[in-house]
Structure 1
Amino acid sequence: DRTVTLNFTEGGSVTLAPNAGANVLASVEVESDSRRLNVVVKAPTAPSLADFAGVWRGQFLRYPARLRETYYNSVTMTSRTTADSSEFAGPDEDLVDVFLTSQAESSNDLLNIDAMGNVSGASQGTLSIAGSALTFTPSSGNPPVTVYPNAATDVLITGEVSADDLGMINLVKVSATPAETFDELVDLKVTILPGGAAQITWNEGSNFRLVKSTTLDGESWTEVGGTGDSGSYEDSEPVSSAFYRIEALGD
Structure 2
Amino acid sequence: MHITGDMKMVDVVQHDIQLLAVIQRFEIPLGFREKTVKEVCDGHEVNVDFFLHIANSFHDKEFLDWQKFKTFPIEWIIRYLKNAHRCYIDYRIPEIERQIQNFEKQVDINEKNIDLLLNFFRKYITEFNAHIEQEEKNVFPYIIRLNQLVNEPTSEGIDTSDEFFIKQYHEEHNNIEETLFDLKSILLKYLPPPVNNCLYNNLIYDIFRLERDLLDHAELEENVLYPLVKEMEDILMSNRSNK
* TM-score, scaled relative to structure 1: 0.27
Larger CA Rg, structure 1 vs 2: 1
Higher strand share: 1
